[in-house]
């Protein structure tokens, strides 16, 4: 099955990255606000966009190293997909290896989401390096899906 | 084999997008300067980065609709991979469906390149919508590969 994969290096500590991936305020700063934290396995977060948003269940956490979600609800193509953020060190940077796996087909919507995930991972980088991300709502859409 | 796929909608004509993917000045405006045009099948372009850069052969052109390259030389992981830009209309936008195919493995470098391709496709969008892209050299690197 096709996957979306991205990798970004961030001049920030692993704890700063881990918080930005597990805390409500952190997630709101680079992607979009969820209705709670994702700091415990089993937590369910609905991420708020203009018209609803996906619900993620936190299915694995390895402190400072890994965050893994399963999409319980959201766009049909996302249902039961898994999203993993692997956190590691490389030189002076904290590296995030992102994977969105379980797509049934390499569809147009997947290609849109791939581009958009890169946009938001660069937003995570900006948030942690400059104190300011570019979360939803973004200043311009990437294609017809937002 | 794993693929990189991205999709971006651009408020510009198909001819403007096609030129930006086939003409030396266009390519220089969103990715990096090649040593010539890519406007004919069989053309070979070396794209200029800090230390060398990949050489692409134009292997297919469908005017206003498709541009396809094969990587002849460059990073080991890129050799013999294929890059396709499909151009179409959706509503008021020209949509570019980008694919970089033929990767042997879903390696860290592929994940880096996926994020970076998204960055440069958004640069293509900025170039055509605002008259100003964000080509190489970029203001900050995405990870240790640039």
Give the pLDDT band of residue A89 (cuts 50, 70, 90): very high
Cα dist from A140 to A52, A53, A125, B129, whole Å: 19, 18, 19, 11
With 0.90 as the threshold, say if the pTM is over it. Answer: yes
**Mean of the per-residue pLDDT values of chain A:** 97
Q: Does the pLDDT of residue A116 top 90, yes or no?
A: yes
Q: Which residues of A touch B110 (CB under 8 A)?
A: 5
Identify the contact set of chain B against chain A, taking CB-CB distances under 8 A.
Answer: 2-9, 90-91, 93, 95, 97-99, 106, 108, 110-112, 114-115, 117-119, 121-122, 125, 129, 140-144
Q: Does the pLDDT of residue A11 top 90, yes or no?
A: yes
More reliable by pLDDT, A26 or B140: A26
Phi, psi for B83 (deg, rounded to 5): -120, 125
Give the pLDDT band of residue A50 (cuts 50, 70, 90): confident
Strands B4-10 and A66-73: unpaired
Sketch out chain B's domains with CATH numbers: 4-130 (3.30.530.20)
Q: What is residue B108's predicted lDDT score, i.e. its pLDDT?
A: 97
Across B23-135, the runs of DSSP E, i.e. the strands, are 44-46, 55-62, 66-73, 82-90, 93-101
pLDDT (tens, 9 = 90+) of chain B, 146 residues, equals: 899 999 999 999 999 999 999 999 999 999 999 999 999 999 999 999 988 899 999 999 999 999 999 999 999 999 999 999 999 999 999 999 999 999 999 999 999 999 999 999 999 999 999 999 999 998 889 999 99
Strand pairing partners for B93? B90
Q: What is the pLDDT of residues B107-118, one digit of tens each?
A: 999 999 999 999
């Amino acid at each position: 099955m096709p996957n979306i994969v991205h990798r970004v290096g961030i001049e920030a500590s692993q704890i700063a990255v881990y918080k930005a991936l597990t805390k409500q305020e952190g997630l709101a700063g680079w992607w979009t606000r969820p209705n709670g934290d994702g700091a415990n396995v089993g937590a369910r977060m609905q991420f708020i966009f203009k018209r609803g948003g996906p619900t993620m269940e936190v299915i694995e956490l390895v402190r400072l190293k890994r965050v893994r979600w399963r999409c319980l609800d959201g766009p049909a193509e996302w249902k039961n997909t898994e999203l993993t953020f692997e956190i590691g060190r490389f030189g002076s940077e904290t590296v995030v290896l992102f994977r969105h796996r379980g797509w049934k087909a390499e569809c147009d919507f997947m290609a849109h989401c791939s581009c958009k995930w890169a946009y938001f991972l660069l937003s995570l980088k900006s948030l942690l390096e400059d104190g300011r991300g570019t979360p939803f709502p973004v200043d311009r859409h990437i294609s017809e899906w937002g």
